């Protein structure tokens, strides 16, 4: 069985963060490993508190994983401080981790800040250059490129700028646009659009975590990046279209929409 590691924060509501990652990896047929960067007290209406792992304990989790079950791909989500970012970068280099997907999580849709302002530089300098692909949403792509994004041409310019700056592929996600759910993959000097039908579902908690984990799962299975993005897009569209409705705010998706068998009713 192929394996994928998520390095991310815990979401007590189960819709985003490490919980979304593990469900996504499992539903995509890979064995999920995890290293927890932080605990969040969170539900569908917002984040009330964050308790960070220490750099030492995060390093211990990464040592435990890499020295035993070496992951076929790695996904990185919420990492709130410069010290934790530096720890992850050092360990990924030490172990020669491959197929690294970085979701540069900065702010939850509910408005909570998940990355400290003083950690953006560490993210850019230490972690982004290790990535095979970055998956910023539009607000994150604006911060990383220093540009304002208002339309598809702006997405292309911003993705190109980020890709050239950090030497990796960039998937600029269009979920925050008004009329569509089209994502742009910029790699090796050229852009490719992955078109998505916008699903009229207010429950989008964890879409970014889910997409990046599905990409990592498909890279772990040996698919190339284009195919991994295409398959991840099909997966998230299915999870949104299942129209799960839980909680009082923007609820989670149904990660198990495609699961069939005697134990699912």
Ligand X SMILES: Cc1ncc(COP(=O)(O)OP(=O)(O)O)c(N)n1
Ligand Y SMILES: Nc1ncnc2c1ncn2[C@@H]1O[C@H](COP(=O)(O)OP(=O)(O)O)[C@@H](O)[C@H]1O
Active site residues: 173, 204, 206-209
Contact characters 70-89, ligand X, x per CB under 6 A: -------xx-----------
Count of positions on this chain that bind ligand Y (CB under 6 A): 20
- The answer to whether residue 116 forms part of the interface with ligand Y (CB under 6 A) is no
Q: Residue 207 has which token pair?
A: 């879409």
Tokens of 189: 């000097």
Segment interacting with ligand Y, rule: CB under 6 A, options 68-76, 145-153, 235-243, 253-261 = 235-243
Closest among 37, 35, 36, 32 to 21, alpha carbons compared? 32
What is the DSSP secondary structure assignment for residue 126, as one 8-state letter?
I
Pick the closer one to ligand Y by CB: 200 or 265.
Answer: 200
Cβ distance to ligand Y smaller for residue 21 or 183: 183
Q: For residue 197, how many C-alpha atoms fall within 13 Å in the half-sphere facing its CB?
A: 9
Contact residue for ligand Y among 183, 203, 220, 239 (CB under 6 A) = 183
Question: Applying CB under 6 A, does 16 fall inside the site for ligand X?
Answer: yes
Query: Where does residue 249 fall: left (phi above 0), alpha (psi -120 to 50 degrees), or beta otherwise?
Result: beta
User: 13 is written with which tokens?
Assistant: 């509501």
Residue 16 or 62: the one with the smaller Cβ distance to ligand Y is 16
Q: Which of 40, 43, 44, 61 binds ligand X (CB under 6 A)?
A: 40
**In sequence order, what are the beta bridge partners of 134?**
102, 170
- The alpha-carbon radius of gyration of the chain (Å, integer) is 17
Distance CA 132, CA 33 (A): 19
**181, 185, 215, 253: which one binds ligand Y (CB under 6 A):** 181
Which parts of this chain interact with ligand X (CB under 6 A)? 8-9, 11, 16-17, 40, 42, 77-78, 105, 108-109, 114, 204-209
């Amino acid at each position: 069985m192929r394996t994928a590691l998520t390095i991310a924060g815990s979401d007590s509501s189960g819709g985003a963060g490490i919980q979304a990652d593990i469900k996504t990896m499992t539903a995509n047929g890979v064995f999920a490993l995890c290293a927890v960067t932080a605990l969040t007290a969170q539900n569908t209406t917002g984040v009330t508190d964050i308790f960070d792992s220490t750099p030492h304990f995060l390093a211990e989790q990464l040592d435990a994983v890499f020295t035993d079950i070496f992951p076929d791909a790695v996904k990185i989500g919420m990492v709130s401080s410069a010290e934790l970012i530096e720890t992850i970068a050092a360990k990924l280099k030490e172990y020669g981790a491959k197929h690294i997907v970085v979701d540069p999580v900065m702010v939850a849709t509910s408005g909570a800040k998940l990355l400290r302002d003083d950690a953006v530089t560490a993210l850019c300098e230490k972690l982004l250059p290790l990535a095979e692909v970055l998956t910023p949403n539009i607000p994150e792509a604006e911060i990383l490129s220093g540009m304002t994004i208002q339309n598809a041409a702006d997405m292309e310019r911003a993705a190109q700028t980020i890709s050239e700056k950090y030497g990796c592929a960039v998937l600029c996600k269009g979920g925050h646009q008004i009329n569509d759910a089209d994502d742009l993959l910029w790699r090796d000097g050229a852009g490719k659009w992955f078109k998505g039908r916008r699903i009229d579902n207010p429950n989008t908690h964890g879409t970014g975590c889910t997409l990046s984990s599905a990409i990592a799962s498909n890279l772990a299975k040996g698919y190339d990046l284009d195919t991994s993005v295409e398959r991840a897009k099909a997966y998230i569209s299915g999870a949104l279209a299942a129209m799960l409705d839980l909680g009082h705010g923007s609820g989670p998706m149904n990660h198990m929409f495609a699961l069939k068998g005697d134990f699912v009713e």
